[in-house]
Amino acid sequence: MMVKVAINGFGRIGRMVFRAGYKDNDIEFVAFNDLTDTKTLAHLLKYDSVHQKFEGKVEAKENSLVIDGKEIRVFAERDPENLPWEEFNVDIVVESTGFFRTKELCEKHIKAGAKKVLLSAPAKSNDVPTFVIGVNEHDYNKDEHHIISNASCTTNCLAPIVKVLNDNFGVEKGFMTTVHAFTGDQRLVDAPHKDLRRARAASVNIVPTTTGAAKAVGLVIPELNGKLDGMAIRVPVPDGSITDFVAVLQKFASVEEINNLFRSVANHELKGIVEYCDEPIVSKDIIGNRHSCVFDALSTKVHEKLVKVVAWYDNEWGYSCRMVDFLKRML
């Protein structure tokens, strides 16, 4: 069954979700909604400073984009409730504006005629369930869950790692630091921002800031709710990030045990979600990697029940690939 998808917010993640899914035979993109003009949207889809030139042909019309000969309608509507989703038989809206992050706001898409909404960010209300593939996707019920969150790119990297450790050794508590590429929420040059550290120039600074990614693991692994926390350090690269997770386990472990465990899950139950790497890679090497996380075996450290594990992730592409994977699960 082909899923008809509309994207609300054709920015970094909106465009990456389209790139990741436009050749998938199970998905049909039927409309985009973005306040930017179609000429600019076409250019930004065609050319990308990180992910290189789009392989298809892109043409801008007044109210649409023509991509590989298929015309996709483009709207510029501020209120999602006014979008013609019913007319376009939209099954699922990818909500990637970053602004509509509560159930009440996402319901505007439902009122407009869409069947479901997949939020490409952590929800800002507790009544929106969160799902991470490789962790709790089997809890999704298509008859009950109509507005859901795919969490953040960092939670998608961290949660599978934590689940593996918790299932096999038990996790008492832990802290995560994500060394994260800068994003559009930061400033290119020093300029006002509610987070004064994000107000500083992203391209020339190491910027400590907040993240809810570790706490969000408790949403998908309820037994760890309240046991994890973390922070982010934004660095001057446009894409490619790494999580550093330190935990106290319930059982003693060794480097060999932990690495062997992740090698096994990467080849079996979490294949396609976790990749195992025992080579000395750097952030540029994981650009374009589809996995949620790339486990860095060379960085594993253990002292009795204290463990440190490290995992890379393409915070744009890997996350967008999981969005596409979940789109195909929702109906």
Domain co-membership, 243 together with 119 = no
Domain co-membership, 169 together with 280 = yes
User: Is 325 inside any structural domain?
Assistant: no
Task: Report the pLDDT averaged over residues 9-22.
Answer: 98
Per the structure, how many domains does the chain have?
2
Domain co-membership, 303 together with 160 = yes
Task: Report the pLDDT averaged over residues 93-101.
Answer: 98
Q: Which residue has the tokens 């692994």?
A: 221
Examine the fold and report which residue of 113, 128, 143 is the final residue of a domain before the chain moves on: 128
User: Is 54 inside any structural domain?
Assistant: yes
Task: Report the pLDDT averaged over residues 188-195.
Answer: 97
What integer pLDDT is reported at residue 152 of this predicted model? Answer: 98
What letter would DSSP give residue 201?
A: B
Q: What are the structure tokens assigned to 16, written together?
A: 């990456």
What's the pLDDT tens digit per position in 215-227? Answer: 999 999 999 999 9
Domain co-membership, 158 together with 124 = no
Q: Which residue range(s) make up the domain with 178?
A: 153-315
Domain co-membership, 200 together with 293 = yes
Whole-model pTM: value is: 0.96
Nearest to 219 by CA among 327, 130, 133: 130
CA distances from 147 to 115, 128, 163, 328 (A): 9, 6, 24, 15
Domain co-membership, 159 together with 295 = yes
What's the pLDDT tens digit per position in 254-310? Answer: 999 999 999 999 999 999 999 999 999 999 999 999 999 999 999 999 999 999 999
User: Is 279 inside any structural domain?
Assistant: yes
Known catalytic residues are: 153
Domain co-membership, 179 together with 290 = yes
% of the chain surpassing 70 pLDDT: 100
What's the pLDDT tens digit per position in 226-264? Answer: 999 999 999 999 999 999 999 999 999 999 999 999 999
Domain co-membership, 74 together with 173 = no
Say yes or no to pLDDT of 93 above 90: yes
Residue 93 sits in a domain of what CATH number?
Answer: 3.40.50.720
User: Is 322 inside any structural domain?
Assistant: no
- Across the strands, what pairs with 65? 60, 72
Domain co-membership, 99 together with 163 = no
Residue 191 sits in a domain of what CATH number?
Answer: 3.30.360.10
Domain co-membership, 47 together with 176 = no
Say yes or no to pLDDT of 1 above 90: no
Mean pLDDT of the chain: 98
CB 327 within 8 A of CB 21: yes
Whole-number Å distance between alpha carbons of 283 and 291: 14
